[in-house]
Structure formats: structure tokens, C-alpha cells
Chains A and B, each alone.
Chain A
Amino acid sequence: MEAAEATQSSGSNPKNQLSVPASLGINVFFIIYSLLCIIPLLLIVMVSITDESAVVRNGYQFIPSKFDLGAYQFLFKDATQILRSYSISIFVTIVGTVLSLVIMALYAYPISRTDFPHAKFFTFFVFFTMLFSGGLVPWYLVYAQTLDLKDTLMALIMPLLVAAFFVLIIRTFFQTTIPAAILESAKIDGAGELTIFLKIVLPLSLPVLATVALFQTLTYWNDWFLSLVFITKDGNITVQYLMYKTMLNIQFLANNSTAAAAITAAGGTFRFPSETVRMAMVVVGIGPIIFAYPFFQKYFVKGLTVGAVKG
């Protein structure tokens, strides 16, 4: 019996355990690997709270040789750009996730119904998009020219709304967990299809909907590709894209910061703390993910098997 299950089930089998050295070895191995997952983030955090001149002198270090919060002070002296980017990211994530959930569930329900003769065709209609794509160029032209959505928030939401893969997962969930008898009896009671969907199907499908919502939230929050492709002006810049632009050119933050301009005008000798501000920007950018992730992670793990076929 596997050790992890030994604690689950009562019938633990002491004969089938790893030897003490092997068990110890595995534990040490995982402790080292876990550290490897945290250390890169730690380095960024540490650099962001180090004094700028110490960073320039000694490079990025895990233990700040001189502690300083100047980078954060600088960032928040004029947080206009950061706040704006945050609100855009939050808006895109919430609207995108909700819309996408509604639209995908509405599509998944009819194709889950075996009595609907066109279900097969519409299943293929969505499945085919997983197999073949027209490529970047025509896809871009549709959004940028036909729909003229360049530099709009719509361009950051629309392309990710319908993911074939999730539609199929929701459909499979509908098919396998909602008893056809319930739908039958509701129909006999005279309920319309929309009523059945809203009052019976959706409440029974919360597990799969929650999982898909989490995945979509992560997709929208972490997306920078759509910004890279469609956003050319400085207006609608998400947190991810702001981090990307900061990486390319730290002056991007400085240019947008009236604080920097004011300091330069007044003092003249102002030196832009570019190394530490850049890292502070990342810390501010990943903050929400770090806090949300233990919660997310839990449901992700549950969700990874939610769409599974019962066999």
C-alpha cells in the first residue's frame, strides 16, 4: 500500500513502507526542491528592499547589505500608473471570467443533451478549433482590422472568452452528473429549456463551473500576449504588460511618474533607483497571485479531476 494512502485508510501495512534512509532521502529531496521553487521569488523581494547603491555595488543578493524601502516609496509617490493598471487588470479579469463562464455554459448545455439531434455537429464545431487554427496573421487581422478593436479592453477580453477545451469539460460534466430523469420530469412539469438550465443544471454543476472560473481567472490575470499584440498606446496597460514594459525600459515608469519629474526639477541630482524599482514593481505585480494561490491551488487540484470521465 502506498504510504500516502496509509494515513487515509485504516488498514495500514507496515511491511510495505520505505526503509528509513530512503524515506529520509525523499524528504530531504523534496525540501530542497521546494526551496528551489521559492528562492527565485525571494531574490526578487530581497533586491526590492535593498538600497539602490548597494545593489549597484554588490549585485542582486539574498541578504540585503543595506535595507531600504526607497523603491516602494518611489513607486507609490505617484501610483497613478500602477493603480490604473491594477484596475484594468481587475476589470478585464472579472468581466472576462464571468462572461466566459456564462457563454461557455450556455453552449455546453445543448451539446450535452443526447436528445438534441444537432448536438453532434455543434460538439464538432467547437472541438475542431482545438485541432486547427488559421495562425496569428489572419487572427490578428480579424481583431485589428475587421473588428477594429485595437487599443480597446474588448481586445483583451474577447479572444479568451470561448476555450474549446473548457466547453468540452463542462459538457462532459453535464452529461455524466446530471441524471436525465431529472430533466425529463422537469420537462413534464412544463419547464422551458432555459428554466431547466438555470434552475436545475447550473446549481448542480457548481464544482465544474468553479474550476473553470478559477482557470479563466488565472488566464485573464496572467495574460500579457493580447496586450503585446493589440495595445499600442499607453492607456490600457494591464499589470502584466506594465511589468513587461518595465523590464524592457525602466524609464517607462519614470516617464509616467510626475513624481520623478518633480524631483528632477527640484533637486536636479535625482538618481532614478532603476534596479530596485524594477524588482519592487514585480513584487507589487505578483502580490495578488501569491495571496490567492494557496486557495487557488487547493481547488485546482480538486478541479483537475472534476471533468474526468467516471470509469
Chain B
Amino acid sequence: MAKQAPEAAAAAYIPRSSVKKMSHLRIFRKYWMFYVMMLPAIVLLVLNNYIPMFGIIIAFKNINYADGILGSPWSGLRNFEYLFKTSDAWIITRNTLLYNSGFIVLNLVFPIAFAIMLNEIRSRFLAKLHQTIMFLPYFLSMVVISYLVFGFMSDEHGYLNSSLLPSLGLEKVQWYFTQEVWPYILPIVNTWKSMGYFTVIYMAAIIGIDDEYYEAATIDGASKWKQMTSITVPLIMPVITIMTLLQIGKIFNADFGLFFQVPRESGVLFPVTNVIDTYVYRTFLTVGDIGLSSAAGLLQSVVGFTLVFLSNWVVRRINKENALF
């Protein structure tokens, strides 16, 4: 059985039915130390996660600071009406979904291909070296990544405009003002950054496959390609399913850093770089429109929540073991 990614840990929920029924008071008495131990995390979870969950009522209110959140008048679905009247609602939803779908496919195909190829490298030293170097971008923050991209694509001094394009006899491109190129640049940057991480996960899965399968396959005269399609890929399917499910569940949550930092907030690019997360951030903290941003945020949370359940349900139908819950 292939080793599973840490994500799979969440699946290992082991209920024990043999626990006798005790009254809550007795449980508190017997395990009081447990509650003391859990207290700091409980307080943090309440503040950081649970109170904001109740804060979703903001989306249904016409907030003014004088009355506070609870005192402000209800506005029904008006915030949502405003949201859908703007052209932004469609654009940010489309961008978020399209980019994330692309990312899911790219983060599946390339890292698996890389992992399989890396596994074929004879020299262990070289394989380790490549893996180590490939992991480097994962450790850099999006701020740094935006600098790296800027180094190549700066309109004024970037390597592409000042050296590469002229030497090829091509026209300079105002990269940060050209919408058409970003649907390619962003997936490339995203794949480049996360390649090392996903490759390691799939590598671990592949190394966990029993050698005997391959030995038997060689005796039967199976080609490398046949071994890959009939042994490697089917056997790492559990890991593939889990990784994909986790990403599908998050398909409504864009990588804020990628879409905020890398295009350097170029307004011209918003039609192709604005996603739900950046929209919520900008309408809330830059424009100051609480109603619109919380309505968009709530939609994101609810749809995202539904999608997690839906994708989990699908996985349960296919293979119960791989389901998240």
C-alpha cells in the first residue's frame, strides 16, 4: 500500500464504540485535565474561526459603525443584489473557477510525470539533487516570487524586454498592461512554485509500491510505458484521489498571494487577475464597502462548503477509504 500524504491523516478517524456512557459531569470530573490542556486552542478557535462564522450575518446587514454589527439594520438580500448587479461578480467567479481548475489539472499531470521520471534516474545523488532544487520555489514567499517575475517582465528593465526579445528581433511587450498573457503566466508561476511539493508527495507514493509488481511485469515483457499505465498510476490512485479532492474542495478559494502579488496590482489586468479573494480584500480594505465584500465572502464560504461535501460524497461512492470524512 502506498504511503499517503499527510492530508490523508484527516481520514483516519477512529471512533471507539466500547466507551461506556457516562454523564457529562462525570466526564468533566474524570478528565478535567484534558479540558485544561485544550483550553488555549479552544479559545483561539473560537476567536479566530467560530465568532467570524457568526459574523456572516454582516452580509445581511447595512453596517454602520455607530450602531455596531448587532445594532445595524437588516438589509435582507440587498448586498447580494448589489453584488450581482456589478460585472465583477461574474468576472471573479469565472476567474477563480477557471484558474483553479487549470491548477488542479496542472498540479496533477506535471508532478506525477516528474515523479515517475525522477524515479527512473539511475544516480540516486542526481535524483536527490534535482528534487532538492525543484523544491526551492516552494520555500519562497509570494512577495519574493513577484520580484522574480518582475525581474523578467518589468516593462522598463525586465530581462525579456531589455535582452531576450530584442535579440530575437521581437517587439517589446508591456507585460503588466497586456491582459492576454496572464492566463498563461499565472498557471506557469503556480505550477513552478508547487512542483517540488507535489512531486515529493507522488514520489513517496511511487516508492511505496512493492517491487514485485515490476519484477513480474518485466518477466511478462511489459514495456516501461505499460508498467507506468498499468502499475504505477493505478497503485498511486488513492493519493491522486485525495489530493484532487482536497483541491476541488478549495476550488472557490484562490491563492490570494499569487493573484495579489504577482500581477503587482495592475488595474489594467483586473479582468484576468481579479479573483474572489482579491475582490473581497479590495472592496473591504481598499474601497471600504463592507456590504459588498462580506456578501462575496459569504457566497465563497457557502459554495466552498457545499463543494467539499459534494466532492467528498463522490469520493465515498468510488472508494470509501479515501473519503475525507
Contact = CB atoms under 8 A, between A and B. Distances in A.
B61 to A, nearest CB: 11
Interface residues on chain B, size class:
35 or more
A123 B324 CA distance: 13
Q: Is the interface of A mostly helix, strand, loop or mixed?
A: helix
A106 interface: yes
A250 to B, nearest CB: 12
Contacts of A1: 211, 214-215, 218
Contacts of B284: 136-137, 140
Given A18-B224, A117-B22, A132 B53 contact: yes
Contacts of A67: none
Given A110-B34, A134-B49, A142-B47, A3 B280 contact: no
Interface string B40-80: 11101101111111111010000000000100000000000
A265 interface: no
Interface in A243-272: 243-244, 247
A76 interface: no
A115 B19 contact: yes
Most chain B Cβ neighbours within 10 Å, of A56, A60, A175: A60
Interface in A1-53: 1-9, 11, 13, 15-18, 22-23, 26-27, 29-31, 33-34, 36-38, 40-41, 43-44, 47
Interface of A: 1-9, 11, 13, 15-18, 22-23, 26-27, 29-31, 33-34, 36-38, 40-41, 43-44, 47, 55-56, 58-62, 103-104, 106-107, 109-111, 113-118, 120, 122-123, 125-127, 129-142, 146-147, 158-159, 161-162, 165, 167-169, 172-173, 175-176, 192-194, 197, 218, 221-225, 229, 240-241, 243-244, 247, 275, 278-279, 282, 285-286, 289, 293-294, 296-297, 300-301, 303-309, 311
A122 B132 CA distance: 38
Interface of B: 1, 3-16, 19, 22, 27, 31, 33-35, 37-38, 40-42, 44-45, 47-56, 58, 69, 114, 117-122, 124, 126-127, 129-137, 139-144, 146-152, 154, 156-159, 161-163, 192, 200-201, 204, 206-207, 209, 211, 214-215, 217-218, 224, 227, 256-257, 261, 264, 277, 280-281, 284-285, 290, 293-294, 297-298, 300-301, 304-305, 308, 325
B147 to A, nearest CB: 5
23 contacts: A3-B119, A8-B124, A15-B218, A37-B136, A43-B148, A106-B38, A116-B34, A117-B19, A120-B15, A132-B301, A133-B52, A135-B280, A136-B281, A138-B55, A222-B141, A223-B141, A240-B141, A247-B146, A247-B147, A247-B150, A305-B204, A308-B4, A309-B4
Nearest to B309: A131
Given A240-B141, A247-B147, A297-B132, A176 B12 contact: yes
Nearest to B35: A110
A224 B119 contact: no
B134 A158 contact: no
Given A134-B49, A300-B200, 10 more contacts: A4-B119, A7-B124, A16-B217, A107-B42, A134-B53, A134-B301, A139-B55, A168-B10, A240-B141, A286-B140
